[in-house]
Amino acid sequence: VCRVPAAGRWGAESPVLSRSPIVQQIRQDCAEPFAAFEQCLKENQASVTNCTDHVNQFLLCADQVKLST
């Protein structure tokens, strides 16, 4: 199950998930597109579908994150 986190609550739902190395890497590498998505949600609370492009940019970034080994 994939959930979009509530604005300002990224990782708050699952402490175990928030400690995951891949989640930490995504937070680091994709901070900018995620912040843009959060801002869009704040500005479009009545019509979150206006943020489709923002969430797609974040998901594209997250999909490209690789863990350093």
pLDDT tens, position by position, 10-27: 545 566 667 889 999 999
Q: How far apart are CA 49 and CA 3, in angstroms?
A: 15
According to the model, what pLDDT value does residue 21 have? 92
- Domain residues for the domain of 29 are 15-64
* pLDDT for 44 beyond 50: yes
Q: Is residue 10 part of a domain?
A: no
Q: Is residue 7 part of a domain?
A: no
Q: Is residue 60 part of a domain?
A: yes
Number of domains within the chain? 1
